[in-house]
Structure 1
Amino acid sequence: MDLGIDRQALVPVVQQIVSAVAEWIRKSGVSPGTRLPSVRQLALDNLLSQSSVIEAFERMEAQGLLASKQGSGFVVAQPPTVHEVHWYEGAEQGWGVFTDSSLGELKLGCGWLPDAWRESDDLSYAIREVSRIDIGGLFNYSTPLGLPALREQLLKRLTQIHVATSLDRILTTHGASHAQDLLIRTLLRAGDTVVVETPGYGNLYRQLAFHGVTLLEVPRTRGGPDIPALELLLRSHRPKCLFINSLYHNPTGTSLSRAVAERLLELARSEDFLIIEEDVYGDLQHASCTRLSALPHDGRVIYVASFSKTLSSALRVGYLSASTAIITQLVHLKTLTGIGTSRFAEAVVATLLANGTYRKWVQRLRKRLSTQMAATLQVLEDEEWQVFAVPAGGMFLWARPGVGDRSRLQACARRLGVLLSPGALFSPTGEHSEWLRINVAYADDQRALALFRAMGPARSTSTILKTTSM
């Protein structure tokens, strides 16, 4: 079995082994109980250490992909009898549904990293360290503001990106969605009006609508919200808040320009509204950028971020920074509705921040995403897809085929097993759009490449049918 190990790649060798063997199992269609090559033989054929192969197989056994048999080595595991479906934010049937592989295995438009990109060793080490050192404290509730050790690390991080704050103005949450929910319930009431970007994050639209808040749409341009359109809205309405995604915007991948940022702050002062700035992809920054929170704003900007997109969605660790008065209200609601956040999860993240592991991880991640972004842009250019903007970083592209229609695209994607995130999912009203969110971390998969080619120019019907029947 040739695993195609690339020793120059940013991905650790053990993870490459896991990905290659999992891909072999998927493509070959082998039945449960099929014996894999021996550890010794696989290591010999691929010039690997046996310890690396053993570690990879043990990970796959923990994931339920392999099973070990005494005297027989490792075999393909029996699939679980109970099929667990997973939440997927971009399923074609509607936002935030639970889905399974019947809708498509390759989630080309999802908002997180592939499992194969995850580096579990450092996370496992941090978990062991926390369990060893803080075993007594792990059984207690966290403090109302969040774990002090984590907030100290967050203060250092925010200082590095020029966001002025203090320990008593940082609140930890169960991810960014929890932070947004606390803010909505604290700052807004049913019937209030807010401004949201469109396209934008669908789950935010639904959170606001759930609380009876009226949404005003402002188009997202390559440099941020459309200022003339926003000024027109402000003259006709009195919105309480503007929700914005400044860096590597979801779904367009664009970032806020300095001129637009400064005008937004001027409008916030003159028209008396707050700005909630979500920065969940900000750690992917590898170029100069503009954050509203890093500019003088007189307490008009609330900063929201999390580690779900870069580190682990399972840990559910997020945070926000706001004025002391707002933090006081948020702490009361957080304590009332959930007692507190997970002391254990926050201790793990604090450990990764303190020992430098997280910093090194995101450095590798930026490089890998940058390579994938360039490669995906080249493929789309070759196939004459239209790209809304060339992002300066992050993981998203907002693109559409240069030719073809929606039904053809959907049919092709389904035949290839590709699950799309179409533009309607990023509209408050579900308005139809030909644009798609593409996560470049998934775009080098052969199914994605086949889709890009099939929707390119001058593809004959026979070529399309041949491609989509692969």
Structure 2
Amino acid sequence: MDLGIDRQALVPVVQQIVSAVAEWIRSNGVSPGTRLPSIRQLALDNLLSQSNVVEALERLVAQGLLASSKGSGFVVAPPPVFYEPPWHEGAEREWGAFTDSPLGELKLGCGWLPDDWRESDDLSYAIREVSRTDTAGLFNYSTPLGLPALREQLLKRLNQIQVSSNLECILTTHGASHAQDLLIRTLLKAGDTVVVETPGYGNLYRQLAFHGVRRLEVPRTGCGPDIPALEALLQRHRPKCLFTSSLYHNPTGSSLSRDVAERLLALACCNDFLIIEEDVYGDLQHASCTRLAAMAHADRVIYVSSFSKTLSSALRVGYLSAGASLIAQLTHLKTLTGIGTSRFAEAVVATLLANGTYRKWAQRLRKRLNAQMVATLQVLEDEEWQVFTVPAGGMFLWARPRLGDPSRMQACARRLGVLLTPGALFNPAGEPSDWLRINVAYAGDERALALFRAMGPARSTSTILKTTST
């Protein structure tokens, strides 16, 4: 068995063995019970130490791909009896049905990057570096506010985007959703009223509903919240908070304009409410932009961001910046409910920020996403899909076919192996919608292109039906 070991690669030899054996099993459809060559043979054939081979095979046993018994060597393990489907946004509504979905569907509407877009070598290096130099990070809690080394890097980043803060006003969290949960618990109580954008982030709607918070809806436009609609709401209600996203809004891809931002801040001051500004896609910025937290706001704006979408959802590292008194309350709640965040994960992110790796990765990611955004917009224009707005960047488009029939589109998507994220997920009341969130990082796949073409006006109804029933 030729494992193709590259001794010049940054990936450790043991991990290369693990990956090579796993790929051999998958690509060749190796049957359960098939015996692998002996440890000695694998080592001789690939000029490896037997200890490296043993460690790699034991890892594969731990992963469930191999099985071993004393004196019998290693064999391909049978598949697990129970399959737990991967999570996706909206999965909790259809968890039972999703277990029967075919594996390998294209998640065209998901909120993260494809695995093959990730650059694991740099992340692996940072993990090894932290493991080698910061053994405390492997065993100890982080500090209440978060790892000081990470908060120092975050302060530099905030200064670069003109967001005024200091070390005592930055709190790390388990991603943006954790930050929002802490804010909801601290600032609001059951029966309180807040303003949310529609369409908007479905998980925020569910968090607010769970805590009994009343949600007032303001439409999202191509420039931010609809100001006349918001003014009309404020004449009748006194909300405590407004939740918004300034850059590359989820799901529409729209960004805040300067005049809308100025009006939002004026309304917040006059009507005494806070603005919680989420900026989890802000690192995809490649042009001039407007952030509320970067403007004079008299502590009316709470800034929330995360590395889960751009770097790794497995690390779960987010943060928020707010006034010192609010940070003190949030820190107390964070410690009370979860003791603290992961010192190890925060040290990994701090390392990537300090050595410039993350900045370079974000630059490459922006370039790749921008190219795919242009290509996807061209395809949708050719097929006469309606696009909510042309984003200045980011990864999302909010679009629908002009001959929109949601049931027909779902049937066509299932036939082509495409998993759609329903528009109802982005409505506070869960109302049906023919709008779709499209993640452009997945839109170049042939299955996505086939769906765009199948729902274009040039295709007759009979053609579409034939496509979905074949």
Secondary structure (helix, strand or coil) at the match of 1:159 reads: helix
Letter in 2 for 1:183: L
Matched residue count: 430
Q: TM-score, normalised by structure 2?
A: 0.84
Shift of 1:98: 9.4
Secondary structure (helix, strand or coil) at the match of 1:364 reads: helix
Q: 1:372 touches 1:444 (CA, 8 Å); kept in 2? A: yes
- 1:102 counterpart = 2:101: yes
Shift of 1:442: 0.7
Secondary structure (helix, strand or coil) at the match of 1:392 reads: coil
Partner of 2:87 in structure 1? 87
Judging changes above 3 Å, is the alpha-carbon distance between structure 1 residues 450 and 64 closer, same or farther for their aligned structure 2 residues? farther
| Separation of aligned partners in 2, 1:218 and 1:201 | 13
Rg comparison, structure with higher value: 2
Partner of 2:330 in structure 1? 330
Shift of 1:326: 0.3
Q: 1:88 touches 1:96 (CA, 8 Å); kept in 2? A: no
Partner of 1:343 in structure 2? 343
Partner of 1:434 in structure 2? 434
- 1:130 counterpart = 2:111: no
- 1:166 counterpart = 2:166: yes
Partner of 2:384 in structure 1? 384
| Separation of aligned partners in 2, 1:148 and 1:463 | 60
| Separation of aligned partners in 1, 2:120 and 2:131 | 16
Residues 306-351 of structure 1 deviation map (CA, whole Å, 9 limit, x = unaligned):
0000001011100000000100100110111111100000000000
Q: 2:130 touches 2:137 (CA, 8 Å); kept in 1? A: no
Q: 2:33 touches 2:78 (CA, 8 Å); kept in 1? A: no
Q: 2:196 touches 2:242 (CA, 8 Å); kept in 1? A: yes
Judging changes above 3 Å, is the alpha-carbon distance between structure 1 residues 461 and 231 closer, same or farther for their aligned structure 2 residues? closer
| Separation of aligned partners in 2, 1:194 and 1:384 | 37
Partner of 2:212 in structure 1? 212
| Separation of aligned partners in 2, 1:296 and 1:84 | 48
Query: What stretches of structure 1 of length at least 5 have no aligned partner?
Result: 1-14, 36-49, 52-57, 70-74
Shift of 1:140: 1.4
Partner of 1:5 in structure 2? none
Shift of 1:461: 4.5
| Separation of aligned partners in 2, 1:34 and 1:119 | 34
Secondary structure (helix, strand or coil) at the match of 1:302 reads: strand
Q: 1:94 touches 1:425 (CA, 8 Å); kept in 2? A: no
Secondary structure (helix, strand or coil) at the match of 2:399 reads: strand
| Separation of aligned partners in 2, 1:254 and 1:332 | 35
Letter in 2 for 1:459: R
Q: 2:219 touches 2:225 (CA, 8 Å); kept in 1? A: yes
| Separation of aligned partners in 1, 2:63 and 2:341 | 30
Judging changes above 3 Å, is the alpha-carbon distance between structure 1 residues 167 and 383 closer, same or farther for their aligned structure 2 residues? same
1:196-207 aligned at under 5 Å gives the runs: 196-207=196-207
Which deviates further from its counterpart, 94-103 or 279-288?
A: 94-103
Partner of 1:375 in structure 2? 375
Secondary structure (helix, strand or coil) at the match of 2:157 reads: helix
Judging changes above 3 Å, is the alpha-carbon distance between structure 1 residues 354 and 219 closer, same or farther for their aligned structure 2 residues? same
Shift of 1:148: 0.2
Secondary structure (helix, strand or coil) at the match of 2:441 reads: helix
Q: TM-score, normalised by structure 1?
A: 0.84
Shift of 1:465: 4.5
Q: 2:171 touches 2:320 (CA, 8 Å); kept in 1? A: yes
Partner of 1:115 in structure 2? 115
Shift of 1:468: 3.7
Residues 259-305 of structure 1 deviation map (CA, whole Å, 9 limit, x = unaligned):
00000000111111000000000001011110000000000000000
Partner of 1:366 in structure 2? 366
Secondary structure (helix, strand or coil) at the match of 1:176 reads: helix
Which deviates further from its counterpart, 286-295 or 400-409?
A: 400-409
Q: 1:171 touches 1:321 (CA, 8 Å); kept in 2? A: yes
Partner of 2:304 in structure 1? 304
Residues 427-467 of structure 1 deviation map (CA, whole Å, 9 limit, x = unaligned):
00011211000001111111111111110113135533554
Q: 1:450 touches 1:467 (CA, 8 Å); kept in 2? A: no
Judging changes above 3 Å, is the alpha-carbon distance between structure 1 residues 387 and 446 closer, same or farther for their aligned structure 2 residues? same
Partner of 1:238 in structure 2? 238
Shift of 1:123: 0.7
Secondary structure (helix, strand or coil) at the match of 1:442 reads: coil
RMSD: 3.3
- 1:393 counterpart = 2:388: no
Q: 1:395 touches 1:440 (CA, 8 Å); kept in 2? A: yes
| Separation of aligned partners in 2, 1:98 and 1:352 | 39
Query: What stretches of structure 2 of length at least 5 have no aligned partner?
Result: 1-15, 35-46, 49-55, 69-74
Shift of 1:99: 4.2
Secondary structure (helix, strand or coil) at the match of 1:86 reads: coil
| Separation of aligned partners in 1, 2:95 and 2:228 | 32
| Separation of aligned partners in 2, 1:95 and 1:366 | 33
Partner of 1:295 in structure 2? 295
Q: 1:416 touches 1:469 (CA, 8 Å); kept in 2? A: no
Partner of 1:225 in structure 2? 225
1:246-257 aligned at under 5 Å gives the runs: 246-257=246-257
| Separation of aligned partners in 2, 1:359 and 1:98 | 40
| Separation of aligned partners in 2, 1:306 and 1:98 | 31
| Separation of aligned partners in 2, 1:132 and 1:431 | 51
Secondary structure (helix, strand or coil) at the match of 2:154 reads: helix
Partner of 1:149 in structure 2? 149
Q: 1:87 touches 1:97 (CA, 8 Å); kept in 2? A: no
Secondary structure (helix, strand or coil) at the match of 1:457 reads: coil
| Separation of aligned partners in 2, 1:344 and 1:319 | 15
Judging changes above 3 Å, is the alpha-carbon distance between structure 1 residues 201 and 134 closer, same or farther for their aligned structure 2 residues? same
Shift of 1:80: 3.8
Residues 401-452 of structure 1 deviation map (CA, whole Å, 9 limit, x = unaligned):
1114111111111111211112111000011211000001111111111111
Judging changes above 3 Å, is the alpha-carbon distance between structure 1 residues 356 and 251 closer, same or farther for their aligned structure 2 residues? same
